[in-house]
Structure 1
Amino acid sequence: MVREDGRYRIGVDVGGTHTDLVLLDVEAGTFSVEKVSSTPANPALGVLEGVSRFFAKGIDPADVGFFAHGTTITTNALLEMRGARVGLLITAGYRAVQEVQQQARDGNLFDYSYVKPAAIAPQSLTFEIAERTDYQGNVLHPLDAEQVREAARKMIDKGVESVAVCFLFSFMNPAHEEETRRILKEVAPDLPVSLSSEVLPRIREWPRLSTTLLNAYLEPVLVRYIDHLARGLDKVGVRTPRRFLMQSNGGVMLFDAAASGGRTVHTLLSGPAAGAQASAYLADEGSRDGLVTLDMGGTSADIAFIQGGVPLEVTEGIIDRRQIDVPSLDMTTISAGGGSIAAVSSSGFLTVGPRSAGAMPGPACYGRGGTQPTVTDADIVCGYLNPDNFLGGKQRLDIAAAREALLRQIGDPLGLDALEAAAGIRRIVDMRMADEVRVFAAKRGVELSKFTLLPFGGAGAVHAVSVAEELGITRVMVPRHPGAFSALGLLCTDVMHDYIKSELRAFEDLAPEYVEDVFRALEEKASRELVDEGLSTDDATFIRELDLRYAGQGYELRTPLEGLAAGPLDAAALAAARARFDDRHEQVHGHAAADRPVEVVSYRLRARVTVPKYIQRSEPFPVTPGDVGAAETGERAVYFDGKTAVKAKTYERERLEIGARLEGPAIIEQFDSTVVVNPGWRGRVDEFRNLIIERC
């Protein structure tokens, strides 16, 4: 386990509109929350402002022993195409791999205006290098070192800021790629180099090249950001070496590890992963049939499924039409956030997103110069949000500005009043989120009727019950601090590194001793890297998996080996792995072929080092149920259907006692979010102060 020095631990989640921070007092077992406006031009500034607010309350920075950070810095850089200028070195004769890709086309096949995404490394910055290794790792043609030097000089002249190296079959023998990096460092010592044999030492040329290119494209962006943030933390007095960054797989890694060894691409889902990890860690007994999470922030809504207390995971994915094949939580994202801008299309239809008002200028009701109507503007006009109690009263919302924006941009063009326009926006965004959940569930064979919906993010709890109604879900669990839930998730995970080695062989020909040797080599590599990061290998747990497929298939399934052998792998363990693969194939694809030969494609290893976590403490139920009246603050008109005003009681969540029960319609307000309980639903406060909302 990572040892903990210091009384406090900080988790930070940077969103498109707000940056959320959680300060955990380890001794008292309590935590406090801060929420500041994000600073898109330099996200570190918002993080440092939030951290400084904790210290302004009397917290000593020297007592902070742990800092964990989830960020969208690499995701945004990719979406906005503002990464580094990348040069590519590739095996002679294969420079067209980036153009051909997989010979498949994404999107609508009948779209005659289809255009491929711009190449990360254009042909003008792609250099063929004479070298060749065969599929077994044997060198057929030695590396031409002079060609590498000449390519390096040309790249410097052309202003290349980062280099990707992807040679054929380097995952079987990385010697040529490693020698290429040594030569590049001689010519250009400060030029970052990403090797495919480190980023993704896995079979299949295009996914390996694409992932390596993305790493090279984003590494300088992440390095600059981490350097700026680290220096800022030093300046405000947070000097703990335990500074972690969230990864797409739901684990964390040290700042230094994030910018080395080809791990930058593992941060592309850093922000959304923290919330899914918190959901899995903090789910209640009533969620044992499964959870669907709805993380609705200022810019987007992220959806994930939790089954058996574990988030679903994938090893292949697409982000903004870019192939990236690293382990990550199985999530989907849509442009449905509080800041999503509503507009009337050229065809005269009401649309919501994908553009967002972000933190600056933000929704029209923020009063920062924004004139475009957003989902938040619609929420306030419909009565869901309190203009005088946003962020606990720290920010006043301008409802008149929201109405004006809705009328001018939506109402007047469509012949609607402000309320009808607002109701239309809400209906669209709720339906879009529900539809995305349906499609996501159908692809994974998930039956939603028994699932619990767990909303978080600043806007998640405002829309959750309406989305649940669309999905036929009858139970919603709102955590104690939904707006800061992802930040809390950073205090609920472990250090995790993933390793892979591809080697195509007939499974029946594998000797147990050989498989054990392959995994031992991966474990030794993982141990060396953990030691380099200052972590103890004594605390490390190694989790083994095989990628298996039936002979002739073009895809494989991850097959865990956990529990199959008490010691080194033996013939019985491999036979059990084969049976487990057949079962997995039946479960995922609806059929199996136990009589067919099987191939091993890759060996996978996950190294996990336990980190001290936030411990959720229950409180005893009172003898008599909590008095809900003590938390009541009044009532206001809410338009659930966009036409008829309904009087909804309002409550202060911090004053709702354990066991308190309330009936919808109701609005529960707190510093970091607002919870809406629709008519026909009721809520209760459980022993962890979660709000459980169920259909009457």
Structure 2
Amino acid sequence: MSVRIGIDIGGTFTDLVAIATDDGAADGGAADGGVTTHKTLSTPPDYGDGIIEGLRVLLADRPGPVADVLHATTVGSNTVLQASGAKTALITTRGFRDILEIRDLRMPVLYDIGWTKPRALVERRLRLEVSEKIRPDGSVAIPLDAASLEPVLAMLRAEQVVSVAICLLHSYANPAHERAVARAVHAALPDIAISVSSDILPEIKEYPRTSTTVINAYVQPTVRAYITALDARLRGLGIAAPLQLMQSNGGLASAAFAAECPAHIIESGPAAGVVGAAALARRLNEPRIITFDMGGTTAKAGLVENGEVLRTEAIEVGGGVMAGSRLLVGAGYMLKLPAIDLAEVGAGGGSICRLDSAGAPKVGPASAGAAPGPVCYGRGGTAPTITDCNLVLGYLDPGGLTGGSMRLDLDAARAAIGQQLGEPLGLSIEAAAHGMLRLASATMMRAIRAVSVERGRDPRQFALLAFGGNGPLFAAGLAGELGIGRIIVPPLPGVFSAFGLLVADAEHHGRQTVRVRLDQADPGRIGAILDDLTAAAARRLRGDGFAADRQRFRRAAAARYAGQSSEIEVALPDGAISAETIAVRFADEHENTYGFRAPAGEPVELVGLSVSARGLSEQPRLPGRIAPFGQSVPPSRRIWLPDDGWVDTPVTDRAGLVTPTVGPLIVQEYDATCLVPKGMTASVDDFGNIRLRAG
């Protein structure tokens, strides 16, 4: 009996889940459903400390050889957010050093003359130029001038640059000059980290390619040091299993790949929960699910349709939280790599509740995090948070979180809310706390609408899957406002992202720019490019240990109407691909996304081709059922309801919902609390999910 472990670092807690597998089972080692969980406070100075502490506790409860260690981390995104990356230089074609400043001329806010774009990750004096030029067709217009490299190398040496990004004009069509520059840099400075755009993102559009390569270079030394140190500490615990990391696209990658190409794991943490939701949706035969993940710092929403997550081809990092609109971009740094399409807002359990300079109430995006944390944690926090509001309204057990191991200070929370919110607003403590929860809910509804209404989907046709430490507390209220009639709270809701790691597959993506009008395209060339991308992806999966019979491929094309500046990706069927197939699928997706399609005969331009490769595990990832964890809970608790005031309310654990129960009701668990309001019925299904339905 071996153990697979998932580890997810959040802004407040580090979550660990271990699931046992029967290595000798006839079906190849099916998961037996034996699950152990542990939550520990995150340790921002060194997140590895929290991981190692949590693993010691977890392995004491679940001994046995460790088969997998799967990790979702925010180290990459935090490095960008905190502007704490390595000293980085950019080597580019002469005349293009300011592409990071010019960007794509997009603004995240309209009519705000005071808005300032984020500072470039590479200061201008370290944006260095070489003389060369490649044409869009790959031919050489100006050969690479070796003499122009000498002052560049001297500058790198004099400034003690740690990492360098190389991004030359049209290198996606011909990478020869980039490779030559990389060889020269490595020969002169063998210890410097090098990121080459034709390896990171061989695609058209200079700003996305440059920005993505610079982000990779900027975070690479930090991420590599983190992964190397964590891997060594795992070995020190006697864990010999290979470390794998979650990518932004929802697939797993080896530690070596993540250290070399950390741009792929920037949004590692948020992706894991959606991957778990997709696996659960397939098990439950739920065709449409909106995921709602509310943790300690942010709330995130995603979409799962027919068991597949919704993906995007580009995201922004470092611009604060993502409000979810596709049009209002430009607040952060462009990262043009496949990622799960999420909308994120700054509303979590640790989000600070305050009054602004005009006396208006505000929630987030600033968070108390793990240190000092909410006031009720008793760790030095003085600003009231969403967790403090939930506590004073009775929704959380004053006896403590995580099974009572972390006691909560109710009196301190009441005092902070009363002094900083209630008295200035002329409200009672309860009314002020409830008002802040309503304000947070309004913010979170923006995220849910962003992945549903703004994507052309009606949220009333979906079920809401709520997880995260705070998701089940807010799920019913949000669903009621949006007209969603069904709510699912999965097993292990507070550590569900860590659980999602355990059901993820290894995944790699390959892309190539192909610019041609479809009515002039050569189907043979399209097929040959797809075959080459598939072969390259297959080699990478073989390197990860996946035999040919455990490899699955998904092909796609990026296309646009001639004259458009942005493209849409559409899935392609297996077998030979005709230009007409791509055109029809593009028109269908364009109509689904934007609500219209051009008249027949409107020329469509192919922009690129891609292949996603997935490595399937030899054993089933998802157990047949997760039995509800029983725990000691008080029989009832007084909670505050806006229409009724203080009400004595039954409290149960998940195992107590075998018989459907009508709210108001509190479902209290080790890792999360679920609030069942009046007018809703709660029950447990065969898999162990809590189901909430109106009526």
Taking structure 1 as the reference length, what is the TM-score of the superposition? 0.93
CA contact (8 A) 2:19 2:36 kept: yes
Q: State the partner residue of 2:488.
A: 477
Q: State the partner residue of 1:586.
A: 591
Give the gaps of 5 or more residues in structure 1: 1-5, 621-625
Deviation digits for residues 94-146 of structure 1 (CA, Å, limit 9, x no counterpart): 122222122333322x2222211001111110111001110100112221233
Among candidates 572, 575, 578, match of residue 580 of structure 2? 575
Q: State the partner residue of 1:92.
A: 94
After superposition, the Cα gap between the structure-2 partners of 1:389 and 1:240, relative to the gap in structure 1 and judged at 3 Å, is same
Q: State the partner residue of 1:209.
A: 210
How far does residue 613 in structure 1 lie from its aligned partner after superposition?
Answer: 4.3
CA contact (8 A) 2:631 2:653 kept: no
Q: State the partner residue of 2:58.
A: 54
How far does residue 230 in structure 1 lie from its aligned partner after superposition?
Answer: 0.4
SS in 1 for 2:55: helix
CA distance in structure 2 between the partners assigned to 1:146 and 1:613 by the alignment: 57
CA distance in structure 1 between the partners assigned to 2:614 and 2:146 by the alignment: 38
Q: State the partner residue of 1:19.
A: 14
Q: State the partner residue of 1:222.
A: 223
Is it true that 1:409 corresponds to 2:420 in the alignment? yes
CA contact (8 A) 1:281 1:492 kept: yes
Superposed counterparts of 1:120-135, under 5 Å: 120-135=121-136
Amino acid of the residue matched to residue 615 of structure 1?
Answer: L
Q: State the partner residue of 2:166.
A: 165
Superposed counterparts of 1:69-88, under 5 Å: 69-88=71-90
How far does residue 58 in structure 1 lie from its aligned partner after superposition?
Answer: 5.7
How far does residue 631 in structure 1 lie from its aligned partner after superposition?
Answer: 8.6
CA contact (8 A) 1:420 1:642 kept: no
Deviation digits for residues 139-181 of structure 1 (CA, Å, limit 9, x no counterpart): 1222123332431221232132211111000000011111111
CA contact (8 A) 1:287 1:451 kept: no
Deviation digits for residues 660-686 of structure 1 (CA, Å, limit 9, x no counterpart): 211100001111111110111110110
After superposition, the Cα gap between the structure-2 partners of 1:309 and 1:86, relative to the gap in structure 1 and judged at 3 Å, is same
After superposition, the Cα gap between the structure-2 partners of 1:458 and 1:146, relative to the gap in structure 1 and judged at 3 Å, is same
CA distance in structure 2 between the partners assigned to 1:165 and 1:619 by the alignment: 49
CA contact (8 A) 1:616 1:688 kept: no
Deviation digits for residues 370-393 of structure 1 (CA, Å, limit 9, x no counterpart): 111000000000000001142111
Q: State the partner residue of 1:258.
A: 258
SS in 2 for 1:283: helix
How far does residue 538 in structure 1 lie from its aligned partner after superposition?
Answer: 5.1
CA distance in structure 1 between the partners assigned to 2:611 and 2:220 by the alignment: 24
SS in 1 for 2:213: helix
More deviation in 223-232 or 593-602? 593-602
After superposition, the Cα gap between the structure-2 partners of 1:410 and 1:630, relative to the gap in structure 1 and judged at 3 Å, is closer
After superposition, the Cα gap between the structure-2 partners of 1:492 and 1:43, relative to the gap in structure 1 and judged at 3 Å, is same
Superposed counterparts of 1:455-466, under 5 Å: 455-466=466-477
How far does residue 284 in structure 1 lie from its aligned partner after superposition?
Answer: 6.8
Supply the RMSD in Å over aligned alpha carbons.
Answer: 2.1
Amino acid of the residue matched to residue 597 of structure 2?
Answer: H
CA distance in structure 2 between the partners assigned to 1:526 and 1:307 by the alignment: 25
How far does residue 33 in structure 1 lie from its aligned partner after superposition?
Answer: 0.6
Among candidates 365, 368, 375, match of residue 376 of structure 2? 365
After superposition, the Cα gap between the structure-2 partners of 1:313 and 1:477, relative to the gap in structure 1 and judged at 3 Å, is same
CA distance in structure 2 between the partners assigned to 1:212 and 1:619 by the alignment: 42
Deviation digits for residues 231-274 of structure 1 (CA, Å, limit 9, x no counterpart): 11010011112x210011111101111122xx311112110110
Q: State the partner residue of 1:431.
A: 442
Amino acid of the residue matched to residue 14 of structure 2?
Answer: T
CA distance in structure 2 between the partners assigned to 1:527 and 1:474 by the alignment: 43
Among candidates 93, 101, 108, match of residue 103 of structure 2? 101
How far does residue 31 in structure 1 lie from its aligned partner after superposition?
Answer: 1.0
SS in 2 for 1:207: helix
Q: State the partner residue of 1:623.
A: none
After superposition, the Cα gap between the structure-2 partners of 1:352 and 1:138, relative to the gap in structure 1 and judged at 3 Å, is same
SS in 2 for 1:176: helix
Deviation digits for residues 273-315 of structure 1 (CA, Å, limit 9, x no counterpart): 1001111110278773511111111111011111121111110
Q: State the partner residue of 2:272.
A: 274
CA distance in structure 2 between the partners assigned to 1:58 and 1:685 by the alignment: 26
After superposition, the Cα gap between the structure-2 partners of 1:399 and 1:281, relative to the gap in structure 1 and judged at 3 Å, is same
After superposition, the Cα gap between the structure-2 partners of 1:141 and 1:284, relative to the gap in structure 1 and judged at 3 Å, is closer
Q: State the partner residue of 1:329.
A: 340
Q: State the partner residue of 1:605.
A: 611
Deviation digits for residues 302-351 of structure 1 (CA, Å, limit 9, x no counterpart): 11111121111110222222111111111011110000011111000111
CA contact (8 A) 1:382 1:642 kept: no
More deviation in 447-456 or 630-639? 630-639
After superposition, the Cα gap between the structure-2 partners of 1:214 and 1:58, relative to the gap in structure 1 and judged at 3 Å, is closer
CA distance in structure 2 between the partners assigned to 1:476 and 1:548 by the alignment: 37
Superposed counterparts of 1:541-580, under 5 Å: 541-563=552-574, 565=575, 569=576, 573-580=578-585
Is it true that 1:467 corresponds to 2:469 in the alignment? no
CA distance in structure 2 between the partners assigned to 1:284 and 1:600 by the alignment: 32
How far does residue 630 in structure 1 lie from its aligned partner after superposition?
Answer: 12
Deviation digits for residues 542-566 of structure 1 (CA, Å, limit 9, x no counterpart): 2211112222222222122224x2x
CA distance in structure 1 between the partners assigned to 2:567 and 2:297 by the alignment: 35
SS in 2 for 1:688: coil
After superposition, the Cα gap between the structure-2 partners of 1:630 and 1:488, relative to the gap in structure 1 and judged at 3 Å, is closer
Q: State the partner residue of 2:297.
A: 299
CA distance in structure 2 between the partners assigned to 1:449 and 1:232 by the alignment: 47
Superposed counterparts of 1:663-678, under 5 Å: 663-678=662-677
CA contact (8 A) 1:630 1:656 kept: no
CA distance in structure 1 between the partners assigned to 2:283 and 2:90 by the alignment: 51
After superposition, the Cα gap between the structure-2 partners of 1:64 and 1:632, relative to the gap in structure 1 and judged at 3 Å, is closer
Superposed counterparts of 1:351-390, under 5 Å: 351-390=362-401
Among candidates 589, 605, 624, match of residue 617 of structure 1? 624
CA distance in structure 1 between the partners assigned to 2:237 and 2:142 by the alignment: 54
More deviation in 486-495 or 47-56? 47-56
Deviation digits for residues 47-101 of structure 1 (CA, Å, limit 9, x no counterpart): 11111112223613xx101111011111111111111121010101112222212
- Runs of 4+ aligned structure 1 residues displaced above 4 Å come to 284-287, 531-535, 629-632
CA distance in structure 1 between the partners assigned to 2:641 and 2:446 by the alignment: 20
SS in 2 for 1:555: coil
CA contact (8 A) 1:423 1:642 kept: no
CA contact (8 A) 2:75 2:223 kept: yes
Deviation digits for residues 636-658 of structure 1 (CA, Å, limit 9, x no counterpart): 111121871122100122x326x
More deviation in 581-590 or 21-30? 581-590
CA contact (8 A) 2:292 2:448 kept: no
CA contact (8 A) 1:632 1:649 kept: no
Amino acid of the residue matched to residue 623 of structure 2?
Answer: Q
CA distance in structure 2 between the partners assigned to 1:100 and 1:214 by the alignment: 16
CA distance in structure 2 between the partners assigned to 1:267 and 1:630 by the alignment: 36
Q: State the partner residue of 2:177.
A: 176
Amino acid of the residue matched to residue 607 of structure 2?
Answer: V
CA distance in structure 1 between the partners assigned to 2:75 and 2:405 by the alignment: 27
CA contact (8 A) 1:493 1:613 kept: no
How far does residue 516 in structure 1 lie from its aligned partner after superposition?
Answer: 2.1
CA distance in structure 2 between the partners assigned to 1:12 and 1:412 by the alignment: 42
More deviation in 537-546 or 329-338? 537-546
SS in 2 for 1:443: helix
Superposed counterparts of 1:504-515, under 5 Å: 504-515=515-526
CA contact (8 A) 1:295 1:457 kept: yes
SS in 2 for 1:639: strand
Amino acid of the residue matched to residue 578 of structure 1?
Answer: A
How far does residue 533 in structure 1 lie from its aligned partner after superposition?
Answer: 4.2
Among candidates 62, 68, 72, match of residue 70 of structure 2? 68
